[in-house]
């Protein structure tokens, strides 16, 4: 058994534990406008800033324009990913055509084709570290990080053995060519705000 197999098995084993965590969190007085997720067993609560939302909206609209209104694209919806207690709520997740929730009502990480995260100062290390590795272990074909602090996008593709083998960066203001990816589109970044 490989490390990748171990991570995938842990995702299934942790679902019940994550259900318990999220049930407790739903009973807590989480302020409106905050997103809660669990990364490697640690609870992270981050506020939704206007810059953050503007970038999410622009990416989601581009994906929606490309695939139409029936596309399964979510923002801040829980998906359990491989690793120890990884109940992520990606800023954007596009699922493959025909994806359906599992028997417990959860969306399956195996159906994720594209994930995008917009950096928040307090949780940037998660997006560049454990979340990137979990998305690669889940074999998500395309992972995009939009970083308004650096003013650039980081694109990761070609997952293999629990990591991405291809990466490139592009400054905000340029068109991000994703035509050779599962998205098959060019993403304008000229209107991405910076922090």
57 DSSP assignment: H
Given a cut of 70, whether residue 188 has pLDDT beyond it is yes
Most confident of 44-53, 119-128, 146-155: 146-155
Distance CA 49, CA 68 (A): 27
pLDDT at 11: 47
Which neighbouring-strand residues pair with 37? 44
Cβ atoms 146, 117 nearer than 8 A: yes
State the first-to-last Cα distance of the chain, in angstroms, to the nearest integer: 44
Residue 30, helix vs strand vs coil: coil
Indicate the range of 2-16, 18-32, 147-161 predicted with least confidence.
2-16
| CA dist 83 → 47, 90, 139 (Å) | 25, 16, 13
Torsion of CA 77, 80, 81, 84, to 10 degrees: 130
User: Which pTM was predicted?
Assistant: 0.80
Indicate the range of 9-18, 51-60, 78-87, 94-103 predicted with least confidence.
9-18
Q: Where are the beta strands (DSSP E) in the chain?
A: 34-39, 42-47, 72-74, 79-81, 86-88, 92-95, 107-108, 112-118, 142-147, 152-160, 163-171, 175-178, 185-188
Interval 87-111 mean pLDDT: 92
């Amino acid at each position: 058994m490989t490390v990748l197999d171990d991570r995938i098995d842990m995702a299934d084993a942790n679902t019940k534990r994550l259900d318990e965590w999220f049930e407790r969190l739903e009973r807590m007085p989480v302020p409106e406008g905050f997103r809660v997720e669990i990364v490697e067993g640690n609870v992270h609560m981050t506020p939704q800033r206007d810059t953050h939302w503007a970038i999410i909206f622009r990416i989601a609209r581009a994906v929606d324009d490309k695939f139409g209104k029936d596309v399964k694209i979510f923002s801040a919806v829980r998906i359990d990913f491989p690793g120890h207690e990884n109940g992520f709520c990606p800023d954007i997740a596009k699922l493959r055509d025909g994806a359906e929730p599992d028997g417990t009502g959860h969306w399956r990480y195996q159906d994720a084709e594209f994930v995008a995260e917009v950096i928040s100062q307090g949780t940037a290390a998660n997006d560049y570290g454990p979340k990137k590795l979990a998305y690669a272990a889940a074999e998500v074909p395309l992972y995009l990080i939009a970083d308004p602090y650096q003013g650039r996008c980081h694109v990761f593709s070609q997952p293999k053995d629990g990591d991405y083998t291809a990466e490139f960066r592009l400054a905000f203001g340029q068109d991000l060519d994703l035509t050779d990816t599962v998205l098959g589109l060019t993403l304008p970044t000229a209107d991405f705000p910076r922090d």
